Amino acid sequence: MNPIHVVGGGLAGSEAAWQIAQAGVPVVLHEMRPERMTEAHRTRGLAELVCSNSFRSDDANANAVGLLHQEMRRLGSLIMACGDRHQVPAGGALAVDRDGFSDAVTAALEAHPLVTIDRAEVAGLPPDTWDSVVVATGPLTSPALAEAILALTGETSLAFFDAIAPIVHRDSIDMGKAWFQSRYDKAGPGGTGADYINCAMNRDEYEAFIDALLAGEKTEFKEWENTPYFDGCLPIEVMAERGRETLRHGPMKPVGLTNPHTPERPYAVVQLRQDNALGTLFNMVGFQTKLKYGEQSRIFRMIPGLEGAEFARLGGLHRNTYLNSPRLLDPTLRMKAQPRLRFAGQITGCEGYVESAAVGLMAGRFAAAERLGVPLRPLPHTTAMGALINHITGGHIETIDEGPRSFQPMNVNFGLFPPLERAPKSPDGKRLRGAGKTRAKKQALTDRARADLAAWLGRDVVSVAAE
Ligand SMILES: Cc1cc2nc3c(=O)[nH]c(=O)nc-3n(C[C@H](O)[C@H](O)[C@H](O)COP(=O)(O)OP(=O)(O)OC[C@H]3O[C@@H](n4cnc5c(N)ncnc54)[C@H](O)[C@@H]3O)c2cc1C
């Protein structure tokens, strides 16, 4: 049988190679380190963790990444098995001994009879003779390969100074203070005239907010992060440093908006724009920031209507290489323009170690199923993995004003899941409120995911073969 080629032995590529080999298909894993290093990797080990050593929460009932851990374990994930074996104490989180973890992943792949490891850079498009390839070269993809992919996609950019704005769960916004309206009620193509959620500030609230932004603790740039950013995506605290009124004339301008809750004219307005097709997530327009995470939560909750905001993702700035996946990839992660190429990991626009490995897991299974000639069955969108892959390959909606690059990297979170058909009730049938309601909703979402994954596993030929 012709081997499948996996390019990049990081979190996604290592998992993809493992899944392919476990399905009985030979695989060649191409990793350029140590011959050529990236700006962040320090070792020759596969699945090196470049920064923190945490896989985040391991709670499969109350946290989307915990649920993702559980699903990956069920699907025979190498990354999760090695993570579990090299766990270090970290409360409710799964944190790992990074060297022990990476050594274990490397040893498992080196020992697998169907895996060949080629320590060389793939410095351009993979040769035509490779008829099935998983590209998993991550946020720091080598320039030669990045340029070749760019030429293939017809996009204008692939590597970005990733200026990301926070994303808020819609149901945590206080609509007693906020309201839906588009500026000047413009409907535009595909809009209704009431597409944005608006949060108004009076003068005192605005001044206090600017003081907080100026005083807030910022993260420092790492030396290698020298990609320029453009004026169009300046962090809000940098704008505030340029003048106390700059934000009021930029992303927080109050014009064309009328607060229905009060006759008072807004002094400044924060707008949030729908971020996913489900309408469960809204991003803070123009609020890219390099404030520290704790500071972001504290300062953004000063905004009227966002006092109880739950963030699906906080803002940040770093270099990143990722595809405009919703446009370029099909539901099984193949590039539409060249289906022999599949993509996995952070280059597809997911964010995080676990998410990258999860997308690698599915890319590996999709590639193996295709090679074996068995049906490719996408995961239900109600599972954590299905929700994540759906977001990457189609769930995200492009916004008119930001265009295709409104697609931004994303951690797994409950906002990506289709809403429950019925709100959970208390055992005696009463409506739940507050923290009890949130807990019950998460429990119901995760129970539904487990049931749907079990049903999918029962039918999926590759999964059965692999277990
Ligand atoms: C500086 C930085 C810090 C981060 N910190 C965190 C964090 O703390 N927590 C978190 O969850 N996520 C973090 N991330 C985000 C992300 O989750 C990780 O980058 C994650 O490792 C992505 O997994 P991946 O498999 O897609 O890429 P990687 O793990 O980076 O793997 C890609 C592999 O491809 C290889 N490669 C690249 N180009 C080629 C080529 N042409 N030929 C052959 N091999 C190639 C690389 O050497 C690398 O081994 C961070 C990202 C960066 C850049």
pLDDT in tens, 356-366: 999 999 999 99
Going by alpha carbons, the residue nearest to atom 15 of ligand 1 is 352
pLDDT at 459 (0 to 100) = 57
271-327 tens-digit pLDDT: 998 877 788 989 898 898 889 999 999 999 999 999 999 999 888 776 688 999 999
Question: pLDDT higher for 442 or 165?
Answer: 442
Work out the mean pLDDT of the chain and round it to a whole number. 89
Helix (H, G, I), strand (E, B) or coil at 33: coil
Copy the structure tokens of residue 265: 């004219």
Residue type, 259: N
From the CA of 43, how far away is ligand 1's center (Å)?
12
Q: In this structure, how many other beta carbons lie within 10 angstroms of the beta carbon of residue 45?
A: 22
Q: Which atom of ligand 1 is nearest to the CA of 320?
A: 53
Tell me whether residue 364 is exposed, middle or buried, using C-beta atoms within 10 angstroms of its C-beta: 0 to 12, 13 to 18, 19 or more: buried
Q: Which residues line ligand 1 (CB under 6 A)?
A: 7-13, 30-33, 38, 40-41, 50-52, 121-122, 136-142, 145, 345-347, 352-353, 356
Which of the four pLDDT bands, split at 50, 70 and 90, describes residue 398? low
Closest Cα to residue 1, out of 23, 29, 25, 28? 25
Closest Cα to residue 212, out of 234, 244, 173, 242? 244
Closest Cα to residue 212, out of 300, 289, 271? 300
Residue type, 187: A
Using alpha carbons only, what angle is made at residue 49 by residues 4 and 314, rounded to the nearest 5 degrees? 105
Going by alpha carbons, the residue nearest to atom 11 of ligand 1 is 352
From the CA of 50, how far away is ligand 1's center (Å)?
7
Which of the four pLDDT bands, split at 50, 70 and 90, describes residue 462? very low
User: Would you say 254 and 200 are in contact if contact means Cβ atoms under 8 Å apart?
Assistant: yes
224-246 tens-digit pLDDT: 455 545 455 678 998 999 999 99
Residue 418: pLDDT above 60? Answer: yes
Residues 6+ apart with CB under 8 A from 451: none
Helix (H, G, I), strand (E, B) or coil at 331: coil
CA–CA gap between residue 96 and residue 101 (Å, rounded): 7
From the CA of 24, how far away is ligand 1's center (Å)?
27
Mean pLDDT of 329-351: 95
125-138 tens-digit pLDDT: 999 999 999 999 99
Q: Which atom of ligand 1 is nearest to the CA of 49?
A: 21
User: Would you say 6 and 20 are in contact if contact means Cβ atoms under 8 Å apart?
Assistant: yes
Q: Which atom of ligand 1 is nearest to the CA of 47?
A: 29
Q: In this structure, how many other beta carbons lie within 10 angstroms of the beta carbon of residue 293?
A: 14
Going by alpha carbons, the residue nearest to atom 35 of ligand 1 is 8
CA–CA gap between residue 101 and residue 48 (Å, rounded): 8
72-90 tens-digit pLDDT: 999 999 999 999 999 988 7
From the CA of 237, how far away is ligand 1's center (Å)?
28
Predicted TM-score (pTM) of the model is 0.79
Q: Which atom of ligand 1 is nearest to the CA of 345?
A: 26
Cis peptide upstream of residue 34 (ω within 30 degrees of 0):
yes
From the CA of 8, how far away is ligand 1's center (Å)?
9
From the CA of 26, how far away is ligand 1's center (Å)?
24
Q: Which atom of ligand 1 is nearest to the CA of 14?
A: 25
CA–CA gap between residue 162 and residue 357 (Å, rounded): 21
Residues 6+ apart with CB under 8 A from 211: none
From the CA of 338, how far away is ligand 1's center (Å)?
24
From the CA of 273, how far away is ligand 1's center (Å)?
29
Going by alpha carbons, the residue nearest to atom 30 of ligand 1 is 138
pLDDT at 200 (0 to 100) = 98
